[in-house]
């Protein structure tokens, strides 16, 4: 495994930390993560064939690191762009279990979404759950809310060497909801 690259990059009025490392192992890949205040906002994973080591691997790591750093500087990385709050009704979103954080293993999340104003379910909302962390490829799970505004998503949180994040997003023509939960390393 190669030693990685770290850079602090300014964009707008924020500073982001960009970290690139060689994941190695059975499915070797180069992983670049972008953090702000310790929260992972973006990840890029590039698998590479084995055997690949030495200077060629270091060149590929450096190129990917430079590409992501430049993307941050130019504001081209989607999660770093400022978001405009969606127009539409406010939602009440219930998540069971409620957290505040989760640990590795199987997890069944029950999500219920309803309009605060009309107390009616948000039907056919797209539910996305993304798990990200250092040295793991991002995992994405999805589902749709039923006529009661409910969705159950079965997921597997992999063992983590350090902290990660579970991102919950509900999208619907009426608006968008997003919440982040910390993931704790095993043990």
- The secondary structure of 93-147, three-state, reads EEEECCCCCECCEEEEEEEEEEECCCCCECCCCEEEEEEEECCEEEEEEEEECCC
Can you give the residue ranges of every domain in the chain? 5-80, 91-183
- Helix, coil or strand: residue 68: helix
What mean pLDDT do residues 63-92 have? 72
Query: Greater confidence, 65 or 135?
Result: 65
**How far is residue 36's CA from residue 49's CA, in Å, rounded to a whole number?**
31
> Which pLDDT value is given to residue 120?
87
Sign of the C-alpha dihedral, residues 90, 85, 179, 173?
positive
Strand-pair partners of 95: 111
Q: What is the pLDDT of residues 130-185, one digit of tens each?
A: 887 776 777 888 899 999 999 999 988 888 777 778 888 888 887 778 887 787 77
Both tokens of residue 18?
């960009």
**CATH class, range 91-183:** mainly beta
Task: Give 160-184 as a DSSP string.
Answer: -SS-EEEEEEEEETTEEEEEEEEEP
Mean per-residue pLDDT of the chain? 82
**How far is residue 162's CA from residue 114's CA, in Å, rounded to a whole number?**
34
Q: What is the pLDDT of residues 88-102, one digit of tens each?
A: 447 888 888 876 677
CA distances for 178 relative to 19, 22, 175, angstroms: 24, 30, 10
CA nearest neighbour of 96 among 176, 152, 56: 152
> Which pLDDT value is given to residue 146?
95
């Amino acid at each position: 495994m190669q030693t990685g690259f770290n850079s602090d990059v300014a964009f707008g009025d924020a500073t982001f930390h960009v970290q690139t490392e060689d994941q190695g192992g059975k499915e070797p890949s180069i992983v670049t993560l972008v953090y702000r205040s310790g929260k992972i906002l973006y990840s890029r994973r590039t698998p590479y064939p084995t055997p690949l080591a030495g200077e060629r691997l270091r060149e590929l790591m450096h190129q990917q690191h430079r590409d992501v750093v430049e993307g941050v500087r130019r504001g081209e990385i989607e999660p770093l762009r400022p978001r405009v709050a969606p127009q539409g009704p406010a939602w009440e979103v219930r998540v069971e279990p409620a957290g505040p954080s989760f640990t590795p293993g199987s997890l069944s999340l029950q999500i219920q979404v309803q309009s605060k104003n009309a107390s009616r379910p948000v039907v056919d909302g797209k539910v996305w759950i993304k798990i990200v962390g250092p040295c793991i490829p991002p995992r994405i799970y999805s589902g749709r809310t039923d006529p009661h505004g409910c969705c159950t998503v079965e997921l597997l949180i992999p063992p983590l060497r350090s902290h990660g994040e579970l991102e919950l997003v509900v999208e619907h023509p009426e608006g968008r909801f997003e919440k982040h939960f910390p993931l704790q390393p095993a043990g």
